[in-house]
Chain A
């Protein structure tokens, strides 16, 4: 089994951003892998850019951390010069400029989400290559492949805050169930006019899907458990 601990850190990842009536909900899993080894099982992929704008990071861990650090610094200066909170559109554009102009060297897909007083809640997806697309919901990362169909069916306009968050948690946990590179806990961040709320859903408290087993503490519990009832004729 080739563990390859020298492989660059990538966040296999499932990241999601969803708008609702009044704000946005961002969600992500928490697994960072180096090759086949999980380097960090509780990482925080939703990083703050400003008080009202957050970004979900996927792809190379180093690249996404450096890009978000630069943009946080630029936005800080921008906020001071502007005299009011930065808008989500400006944040997304700054990220896009870094991602596009360095597209040969960076390998990171990002979802920018936030709330500002001019446009309300907005989600911008910035995949590899540096496109910026404004969307009502965005998904990214390796686990997102399993969610396209799910969102086509489950997404609707003007959800409430609770509905949106439940949708995000459900989607991330479905992706965790199917994608090897996603796992750990589900973190969500809700941004609206009132502020920011961070939530945390530990992996063993998530709903079980098709053929998933109950989490067990010890193999001994499973082995010592009574077998299935013998069939009665």
Chain B
């Protein structure tokens, strides 16, 4: 193990530790606490972890780059749990998610409550995830799992939305819903149900509107209307009573909102607002917070004010994302 320790600034760290961080993309708060290394601050965050390898070799230690996983943090977690710290439970989306096919396309709906055990962690989260311009996916289950499996996970291009985009570039055509379905199904099956993501995938492609449900173990169903999540029974009862083929857009939206509301009011794991996404041929509408049946009551009309003695010394507004202006310079190179 000593061979692998590298002299990095003032502190020796295992090579594997950095590999672990690089692969996990953790913001290295731990690292800041352990070693206030002046070199760290001028590096942009995230993917520049890869720069470590170059600097490692500058340190003069010739170590063959090995793959593998560093379990250091797992040992730390075990130690903390033994000392009595309760591990944070993962954020689940209790959830009611639904989808239905109407005359011109697909309507997806979701509630907006994310729970962590008995506590509402996020009163207004987004459960309808973008997969492709014509395909959206609602996710129930562990919030991290549904985000990761549908999203664009920067360091690991395994994730379906980015796979679809690459596929679009390769084929030169719009994505099809069954492509997204097969990619999601493959991913979830390979994890044998441990990735706890139950999804309602809907979209309109060249072959028409499609709606599919995908379960954590990787099985899929193709249906004209579908519900998933803890509130699925409440929502399904509304659909079974009122669904018919050939609904218009307004009727469809009304039915979806009703089904989600049924989940919101009758299921403890679902709540807050209703999000709706309408996808038709060549056009989509993401109606965020279409309905807010749980407004905050008893808001103080006086508003909030600081105590009278407070003096404002300085006001500074820092934009969190830099605006980048792109200017066209000259002409494109010609061969």
Interface set of A (CB-CB < 8 Å, partner B):
3, 5-6, 8-9, 32, 34, 37, 39-40, 42-43, 60-62, 65-66
A37: B residues at CB distance < 8 A: 233
Contact A62 B232 (CB under 8 A): no
Q: How far is the CA of A86 from the CA of B219 in the complex (A)?
A: 27
Q: A5-B230, A40-B223, A66-B189 are in contact. Are A34 and B215 (CB under 8 A)?
A: yes
A60: B residues at CB distance < 8 A: 217, 219
A5, A32, A43, A66: which contacts B218 (Cβ < 8 A)? A66
CB-based nearest A residue for B227: A39
Contact B219 A65 (CB under 8 A): yes
B217, B223, B233: which contacts A62 (Cβ < 8 A)? B217
Contact B215 A39 (CB under 8 A): yes
B residues contacting the other copy or chain, number (CB 8 A): 16
A42, A43, A61, A66: which contacts B215 (Cβ < 8 A)? A61
A61: B residues at CB distance < 8 A: 215, 217, 219
What is the distance, in angstroms, from A37's C-beta to the closest C-beta of chain B? 7
What is the distance, in angstroms, from B182's C-beta to the closest C-beta of chain A? 8
What does DSSP make chain B's interface, helix, strand, loop or mixed? loop
B213: A residues at CB distance < 8 A: 39-40
Q: How far is the CA of A61 from the CA of B219 in the complex (A)?
A: 5
B218: A residues at CB distance < 8 A: 62, 65-66
Interface of chain B residues 204 through 238 with chain A (CB within 8 A): 213, 215-221, 223, 230, 232-233
A40: B residues at CB distance < 8 A: 213, 221, 223
CB-based nearest B residue for A65: B219
CB-based nearest B residue for A38: B236
Check B288 for interface membership: any CB of A closer than 8 A: no
List 9 A-B pairs, Cβ < 8 Å: A6-B216, A8-B216, A9-B219, A37-B233, A39-B213, A40-B223, A60-B219, A62-B215, A65-B220
Contact A9 B185 (CB under 8 A): no
Q: How far is the CA of A12 from the CA of B213 in the complex (A)?
A: 19
A32: B residues at CB distance < 8 A: 219, 221
Q: How far is the CA of A204 from the CA of B189 in the complex (A)?
A: 35
B232: A residues at CB distance < 8 A: 5
Q: How far is the CA of A43 from the CA of B221 in the complex (A)?
A: 7
Check B151 for interface membership: any CB of A closer than 8 A: no
What is the distance, in angstroms, from B228's C-beta to the closest C-beta of chain A? 9
